[in-house]
Amino acid sequence: MRTVADVNVLFSLLVAGHPHHAECWSWWERQGERAVVLCWPARMGVLRLLTNARAMGGTPVTPEQALSAWDQLSDDPRTVWAEPTEGLDRLLRRFVAGRAPTPNLWSDAWLAAHAESLGCSLTSLDAGFRSFGLKQFHWLRES
């Protein structure tokens, strides 16, 4: 089954010194061809974090280096790009209904809706995705 990868998994995968790099790399190596779904919000989140001094432990990369890292990821045979489907907006609205405002609500709900609308699982280091009641969720920390 294909899986939409959360920003935290992709970022940890790309940053060798990240505390979760080894577990994300282990997961990555088990993925088959075209098994990991990439999308615009994940791309923008990874690029933002790679160029953020705090997220990068004081040594952010240049925008060109960040794009190069993303290109390596997106050119890998394990990845596939998926545009949003028609059903995404309906799911997004369902996932945010009745929730308290939180900083990551919109991006998390969008990724969850994207995965669900594609019939994919979602892979993350954030167990909070469980709250969306996804049909398929893989919390990487249980691996």
Q: What is the pLDDT along the chain (143 residues), one digit of tens a residue?
A: 899 999 999 999 999 999 999 999 999 999 999 999 999 999 999 999 999 999 999 999 999 999 999 999 999 999 999 999 999 999 999 999 999 999 889 999 999 999 999 999 999 999 889 999 888 888 877 54
Range of the domain at 51: 3-142
> Cβ-count burial of 129 within 10 angstroms (0-12 exposed, 13-18 middle, 19+ buried)?
buried
C-alpha 45/C-alpha 73 separation (Å) is: 14
Q: What CATH number should be reported for the domain holding residue 62? A: 3.40.50.1010
* The total number of structural domains that make up the chain: 1
Whole-model pTM: value is: 0.93
CA 108 → CA 6, 61, 112, distances in Å? 8, 25, 6
